[in-house]
């Protein structure tokens, strides 16, 4: 018999690789475009990717009990998956493509050797899915940690893009050093225009997780997609009865096992009845490499018996029970009772409970923040809020006329605000530490905080204070006084305070508009008060 590979599937495989590159490059391009480019309002960019993610839609809608219209786009993904299987994993997902690429590299380097009859269970990701979904029912949002889009965006925003910036900066420095002034200048001007943020607290963990996920590909091809990805698992459930079914022509098949060995996700195309449509990502590798072109994916409407997902009732039950026990642990925290002073959320952030249920920790707000002030939380927001955005004024303040973070949030955890609305939102309150403030403590003139206060009339007013020096001299200086009612908590005062290590003026979350509890002034309307003052 003449042996010949399938031309059709060869080209389909090529097309799939092209599609992966296209969607990956588009993702990175849109990610880089997520910054202030001269317009107050950004057009929808990379958050569109998130809107097509059914896991994020499901968990945030269940968790917050709120519908967010844009996420309904994910129904399109569900529908397509119902008909055509998990092609999104194989053709579109940027993290999947990255894993595929690294698996390819590891295979080339002979670090990864595909096994012949790999029977390792692929069920873990379904258990993770059960865990994530049940947790969201208990309003604990864990989807963001393992959702591929959140994972890849966060990793790029917090870890990869700072690396790029450092590298470029070093190159520019070298260019200046070598006397190539215009090259150095061109690089640094471009960096300023790109507005890449380069400072992130606990970027170490986020970076290590990312590198770890990539390294796992040396153990098994597309390790993440096979064993961990809850979004892939969800799509797998939907794809079980899709129309594109693998078919092996028994007349042509020479039982070489090549298809099963090289299957990206171990969907076991061979032997014939072992193939699982819920694991297949339609990469077309098996059909393309089959030496006799025995494999095809014909469109078939007829229902037929297909192997189910690698799960049993006992495992699912056990996972559910575990989740029910574990998820509440996330809530045993003082953060639920009392607001945490350093928990300054971006303007437009929903009340904390809803915010936590909706935020998927993707890091889009951190990428777009023009001052680098939005940072992934570690302890500020309690156990549920690890890697949710928090404003750290010492790193960057909230730019007065900017509402970009509220525009890019893919799930509406940060409500979209116009610039006018944004300038009215109070996210915290500034406090002067008189023991460190130069005029109060040292009798030196300063007023830097007052100068920078963007509110008009200023929320930092000046009072004259007298400080007694050891020489017995009274020094008189202007010193800051915070007007609680007008302070919006933007933190520029803290950011620019010359006492750099522990600023003499600091913002805490008290007074934030989104919380009814985290307030300090009792606003009682006394009808006579207004008149008696005049």
Number of residues that bind other proteins (CB under 8 A): 39
Instruction: Name the residue nearer to other proteins (CB basis): 192 or 526.
Output: 192
Please choose, out of 47-55, 159-167, 185-193, 210-218, the segment that lies near other proteins by the rule CB under 8 A: 185-193
Q: Is residue 433 at the binding interface for other proteins, with CB under 8 A as the rule?
A: no
Q: Which residues pair with 349 in a beta bridge?
A: 414
Instruction: Name the residue nearer to other proteins (CB basis): 184 or 232.
Output: 184
Q: Would you give the DSSP letter of residue 169?
A: H
Member of 101, 104, 145, 176 binding other proteins (CB under 8 A): 176
Member of 457, 470, 472, 530 binding other proteins (CB under 8 A): 457
How far apart, in whole angstroms, are the C-alpha atoms of residue 260 and residue 97? 20
| N-to-C CA span, the chain | 105
Q: Which of residues 342-401 bind other proteins (CB under 8 A)?
A: 370-371, 399-401
Please choose, out of 109-117, 148-156, 172-180, 217-225, the segment that lies near other proteins by the rule CB under 8 A: 172-180
Dihedral, 344, 345, 350, 355 alpha carbons, nearest 10: -100
Cα dihedral sign for 444, 449, 452, 456?
A: negative
Q: Is residue 185 at the binding interface for other proteins, with CB under 8 A as the rule?
A: yes
Query: Going residue by residue from 467 to 496, which x/- string records binding to other proteins, judged by CB under 8 A?
Result: -----------x-----------------x
181 burial (CB, 10 Å; 0-12 / 13-18 / 19+) is: exposed
Q: How far is the CB of 8 from other proteins (least distance, A)?
A: 50
Member of 28, 137, 448, 475 binding other proteins (CB under 8 A): 448
Member of 444, 469, 481, 517 binding other proteins (CB under 8 A): 444
Rg of the chain on CA atoms, in Å: 28
Q: Which of residues 99-118 bind other proteins (CB under 8 A)?
A: none
Cα dihedral sign for 58, 350, 505, 369?
A: positive
Member of 326, 462, 465, 475 binding other proteins (CB under 8 A): 462
Q: Is residue 291 at the binding interface for other proteins, with CB under 8 A as the rule?
A: no
By C-alpha distance, which of 412, 278, 323, 388 is closest to 133?
Answer: 323
Q: Would you give the DSSP letter of residue 243?
A: S
By C-alpha distance, which of 494, 465, 364 is closest to 51?
Answer: 364
Please choose, out of 24-32, 97-105, 350-358, 440-448, the segment that lies near other proteins by the rule CB under 8 A: 440-448
Q: How far is the CB of 64 from other proteins (least distance, A)?
A: 32
Member of 225, 427, 438, 507 binding other proteins (CB under 8 A): 438
Instruction: Name the residue nearer to other proteins (CB basis): 189 or 255.
Output: 189
By C-alpha distance, which of 466, 450, 447 is closest to 458?
Answer: 450
Q: Which of residues 33-52 bind other proteins (CB under 8 A)?
A: 36, 38
Q: What is the DSSP string of 86-148?
A: THIIIII-HHHHHHHHHHHHHHHTTS----SS-----THHHHHHHHHHHHHHTT---HHHH-H
H/E element, 466: strand 460-468
How far apart, in whole angstroms, are the C-alpha atoms of residue 443 and residue 475? 6
Member of 497, 504, 505, 507 binding other proteins (CB under 8 A): 497
Q: How far is the CB of 42 from other proteins (least distance, A)?
A: 14
Q: Would you give the DSSP letter of residue 244?
A: B
With H, G, I as helix, E, B as strand and everything else as coil, classify residue 442.
helix
Interface with other proteins (CB under 8 A): 36, 38, 169, 172-173, 176, 184-185, 188-189, 192-193, 195, 370-371, 399-402, 438, 444-448, 450-452, 454-458, 462, 478, 496-498, 500
């Amino acid at each position: 018999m003449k042996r010949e590979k399938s031309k059709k599937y060869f080209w389909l495989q090529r097309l799939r690789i092209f599609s992966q590159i296209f969607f990956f490059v588009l993702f990175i391009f849109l990610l880089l475009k997520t910054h202030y480019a001269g317009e107050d309002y950004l057009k929808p960019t990379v958050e569109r990717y998130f809107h097509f993610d059914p896991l994020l839609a499901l968990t945030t809608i269940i968790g917050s009990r709120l519908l967010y219209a844009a996420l309904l786009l994910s129904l399109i993904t569900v529908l397509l998956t119902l008909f055509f299987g998990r092609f999104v994993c194989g053709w579109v997902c940027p993290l999947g493509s990255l894993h595929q690429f690294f698996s390819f590299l590891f295979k080339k380097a002979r670090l990864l050797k595909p096994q012949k009859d790999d029977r390792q269970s692929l069920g873990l990701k379904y258990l993770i899915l059960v865990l994530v979904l049940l947790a969201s029912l208990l309003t604990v949002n864990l989807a963001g940690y393992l959702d591929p889009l959140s994972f890849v965006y966060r990793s790029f925003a917090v870890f990869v893009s700072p690396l790029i910036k450092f590298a470029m900066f070093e190159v520019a420095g070298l260019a200046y050093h070598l006397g190539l002034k215009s090259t150095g200048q061109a690089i640094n001007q471009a960096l300023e225009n790109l507005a890449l943020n380069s400072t992130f607290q606990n970027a170490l963990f986020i970076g290590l997780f990312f590198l770890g996920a990539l390294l796992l590909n040396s153990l098994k091809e597309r390790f993440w997609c096979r064993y961990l990805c809850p979004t892939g698992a969800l799509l797998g459930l939907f794809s079980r009865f899709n129309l594109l079914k693998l078919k092996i022509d028994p007349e042509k098949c020479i039982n070489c096992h090549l298809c099963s060995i090289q299957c990206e996700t171990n969907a076991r195309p061979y032997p014939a009845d072992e193939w699982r449509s819920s694991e297949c990502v339609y990469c077309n590798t098996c059909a393309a490499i089959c030496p006799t072109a025995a494999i095809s994916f014909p469109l078939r409407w007829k229902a037929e018996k297909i192997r189910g997902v690698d799960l049993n009732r006992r495992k699912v039950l056990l996972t559910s029970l575990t989740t029910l026990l574990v998820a509440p642990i996330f809530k045993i925290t003082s953060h639920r009772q009392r607001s945490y002073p350093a928990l300054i959320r971006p303007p437009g952030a929903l009340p904390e409970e809803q915010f936590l249920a909706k935020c998927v920790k993707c890091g889009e707000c951190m990428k777009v923040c023009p001052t680098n002030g939005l940072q992934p939380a570690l302890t500020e927001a309690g156990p549920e809020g690890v890697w949710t955005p928090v404003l750290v004024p010492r790193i960057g303040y909230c730019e007065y006329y900017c509402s970009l973070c509220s525009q890019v949030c893919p799930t509406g955890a940060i409500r979209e605000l116009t610039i006018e609305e944004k300038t009215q939102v109070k996210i915290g309150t500034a406090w002067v530490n008189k023991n460190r403030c130069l005029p109060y403590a040292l009798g030196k003139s300063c007023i830097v905080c007052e100068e920078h206060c963007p509110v008009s009339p200023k929320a930092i007013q000046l009072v004259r204070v007298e400080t007694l020096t050891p020489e017995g001299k009274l020094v008189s200086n202007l010193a800051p006084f915070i007007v609680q009612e007008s302070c919006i908590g933007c933190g520029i005062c803290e950011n620019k305070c010359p006492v750099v290590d522990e600023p003499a003026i600091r913002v805490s979350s008290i007074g934030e508009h989104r919380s009814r509890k985290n307030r300090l002034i009792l606003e009682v309307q006394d009808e006579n008060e207004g008149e008696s003052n005049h």
